[in-house]
Structure 1
Amino acid sequence: MQTPRRVRDLGVTVGTLPPGPLNAITDVPGVRVGQTTISSDDLHTGVTAIVPDGYADGLPAAVAVGNGYGKLVGSTQVDELGVIETPVLLTGTLSVFRVADALLTWLLDRDPKATSLNPVVGETNDGHLSDIRRRPITPEHVHTALDTASSELPAEGCVGAGTGTTALGFKAGIGTASRTLDSGTIGVLVQANFSGTLTVLGTPIPAQPVDADGNSCMIVVATDLPLDARQLGRVARRAVFAMGRVGSDFSPGSGDYAIAFTTNRTPAFADRDLRPAFQATTEATEEALLNSLTMATTTTGHRGHTARAVPHDLLRLR
Structure 2
Amino acid sequence: MHSPRRARELGVVVGTLPTGPLNAITDVPGVQVGQTTITGDGLNTGVTAIVPDGWAETLPAAIAVGNGYGKLVGSTQVDELGVIETPILLTGTLSTFRVADALITWLLERNPKATSLNPVVGETNDGQLSDIRRRPITPEHVFAALDSASSALPDEGCVGAGTGTTALGFKAGIGTASRALSGNTVGALVQANFSGLLTVLGRPIPAEPIDADGNSCMIVVATDLPLDARQLGRLARRAVFAMGRVGSDYAPGSGDYAIAFSTTRTSGFADRDLRGPFQAVTEAVEEALLNSLTMAETTTGFQDRTARALPHGLVAEALSRH
Note whether the superposition's TM-score is higher than 0.5. yes
Instruction: State the partner residue of 2:56.
Output: 56
SS at structure 1 position matched to 2:64: strand
Q: Secondary structure at the match of 1:206?
A: coil
Contact 1:226 1:264 in 2 (8 A): yes
- Secondary structure in 2 aligned to 1:283? helix
Residue type of the alignment partner of 1:14 = V
Partner secondary structure for residue 218 of structure 2: strand
Name the amino acid aligned to 1:83. Answer: V
Q: CA contact under 8 A between 1:183 and 1:225: conserved in structure 2?
A: no
- Which residue in the other structure is 1:44 paired with? 44
Q: 1:8: which partner in 2?
A: 8
Q: Hey, what's the Cα distance between the residues in 2 that align with 1:304 and 1:36?
A: 23
Q: Secondary structure at the match of 1:146?
A: helix
What is the distance in 2 between the residues matched to 1:116 and 1:278? 34
Aligned partners of 1:41 and 1:300 also within 8 Å: no
- Cα-to-partner distance string for 1:70-104 (whole Å, 9 max, x where unaligned): 00000000000000000000000000000000000
Match of 2:228 in 1: 228
Where 1:153 maps in the other structure, the secondary structure is: coil
- Could you tell me how far 1:304 is from its partner in structure 2? 1.0
- Structure 2 match to 1:35: 35
Residue 209 (1) aligns with residue 197 (2): no
Q: TM-score, normalised by structure 2?
A: 0.98
Pairwise mapping of residues 137-216 of structure 1 onto structure 2 (< 5 A)? Answer: 137-216=137-216
Correspondence 1:230-309 to 2 at 5 A: 230-309=230-309
Verify: 1:77 aligned to 2:77, yes or no.
Answer: yes
- Residues of 1 paired with 2:287 and 2:226: CA distance? 24
Q: TM-score, normalised by structure 1?
A: 0.99
Q: Can you list the C-alpha shifts for 1:269-298, whole angstroms capped at 9, x where unaligned? A: 010000000000000000000000000000
Specify every segment of 5 or more residues in structure 1 that has no aligned partner in the other structure, as ranges: none
Unpaired runs of at least 5, structure 2: none
| CA distances 1:228-276 after superposition (whole Å, capped 9, x unpaired) | 0000000000000000000000000000000000000111101000000
Contact 1:36 1:159 (8 Å CA) reproduced: yes
| Alignment partners' CA distance in 2, 1:285 and 1:314 | 21
The percentage of aligned residue pairs carrying the same residue is 82
Cross-structure match for 2:118: 118
For residues 144 and 217 of structure 1, the distance between their equivalents in structure 2, rounded to whole angstroms, comes to 23
Give the counterpart letter for 2:25 in structure 1.
Answer: I
1:86-125 alignment runs, 5 A limit? 86-125=86-125
Question: How many equivalent pairs are there?
Answer: 318
Deviation digits for residues 162-182 of structure 1, max 9, x if unmatched?
A: 000000000000000000001
CA distance in 2, matches of 1:135, 1:189: 24
Deviation at 1:2, TM superposition (A): 1.0
Post-superposition offset of 1:41: 3.8
Q: 1:183 deviation in Å? A: 4.4
After superposition, the CA RMSD in angstroms is: 0.5
Counterpart CA distance in 1 for 2:316 and 2:50 is: 31
Moved over 3 A (4+): none
